[in-house]
């Protein structure tokens, strides 16, 4: 009788141990090592400004996909970001100008996408404070028309409405660095550099980490 009771106790302890191990494993799988913020038209805006003889040309990306990876450890080295922008879905609200931009400048049939992949979140803090705005440098590889260049994008971050607003902008020498032909015509000249910008709102909960 004692032997049966002992065997039953051992079996119960073993089952409890296995349940505990399974629960721990499931917990780790569920939480993962990182959180994701998916870019969408609802939370992200991407565009550009190009000065010209008559006025500033404003462009907008209407189709893109990508994400930001936020490590649960909140170690700045674990952050990453990537985005792919559809060239044919960029618009300046001018049909003829857009056609030239897609077909002549970017050769969209051969180079359908603009791609950015981060390599470093330089000077990004370990902990974000709601009352404290800050800046960091988003460093990464930008690919346009098959040409890849390393760029550093200054980004300003501030808290608003239960999340953090990220605003970045960078000037690109598109003619020289990415082999884009000069879109200027006889009396309509455009600048040789273009200002590219992005804005995205990320929920504050993603920056709470493990603790």
Residues 81-131 have pLDDT tens digits of 999 999 999 999 999 999 999 999 999 999 999 999 999 999 999 999 999
pTM of the model: 0.81
pLDDT exceeds 50 at position 31:
no
pLDDT at residue 55, as a whole number: 86
Average pLDDT of the chain? Answer: 87
Does the pLDDT value for residue 143 go beyond 90?
Answer: yes
The pLDDT of residue 124: 98
Percent of the chain with pLDDT over 90: 73
Q: Is the pLDDT of residue 28 over 60?
A: no
User: Residues 134-150: what's their mean pLDDT?
Assistant: 98
For residue 177, pLDDT beyond 70: yes
More confident residue, 194 or 52: 194
Of 57, 129, 138, nearest to 98 by C-alpha is 57
User: Is the pLDDT score of 17 beyond 50?
Assistant: no
Q: Inform me whether the pLDDT recorded for 14 exceeds 60.
A: no
183 CB contacts (<8 Å, ≥6 apart)? 100, 101, 104, 105, 190
Q: Are 141 and 149 in contact (CB under 8 A)?
A: yes
E-strand spans in the chain?
34-38, 44-51, 56-61, 64-71, 80-86, 90-91, 113-122, 134-144, 147-160, 163-172, 194-203
pLDDT at 6: 53
Task: Give the whole-angstrom CA distance, residue 29 versus residue 37.
Answer: 18
What is the token pair recorded at 104? 């002549």
Query: 33-207: what CATH class?
Result: mainly beta
pLDDT, position 48: 97
pLDDT at residue 30 in the model: 33
Q: Is the pLDDT of residue 22 over 70?
A: no
For residue 51, give the nearest of 195, 181, 182 by alpha carbon: 195
Domain map (residue ranges) of the chain: 1-31, 33-207
pLDDT above 90 (res 159): yes
């Amino acid at each position: 009788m004692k032997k049966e009771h002992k065997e039953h106790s051992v079996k119960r302890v073993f089952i409890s141990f296995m349940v505990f191990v399974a629960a721990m494993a499931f917990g780790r799988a569920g939480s993962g090592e990182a959180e994701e913020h998916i870019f969408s038209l609802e939370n992200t805006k991407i565009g550009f400004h190009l000065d010209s003889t008559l006025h500033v040309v404003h462009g907008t990306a209407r189709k893109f996909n990508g994400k930001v990876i936020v490590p649960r450890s909140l170690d700045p080295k674990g952050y990453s970001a990537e985005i792919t922008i559809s060239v044919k879905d960029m618009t300046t609200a001018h049909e003829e100008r857009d056609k030239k931009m897609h077909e002549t400048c970017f050769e969209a049939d051969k180079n359908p996408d603009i791609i950015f992949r981060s390599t470093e979140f330089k000077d990004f803090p370990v902990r974000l404070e709601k009352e404290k705005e800050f800046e960091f440098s988003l460093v990464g590889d930008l690919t346009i028309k098959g040409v890849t260049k390393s760029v550093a994008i200054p980004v300003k971050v501030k808290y608003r409405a239960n999340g953090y607003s990220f605003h970045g902008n960078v000037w690109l020498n598109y003619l020289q660095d990415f082999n884009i032909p000069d879109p200027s015509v006889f009396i309509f000249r455009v600048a040789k550099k273009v200002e590219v910008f992005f804005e995205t709102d990320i929920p504050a909960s993603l920056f709470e980490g493990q603790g």
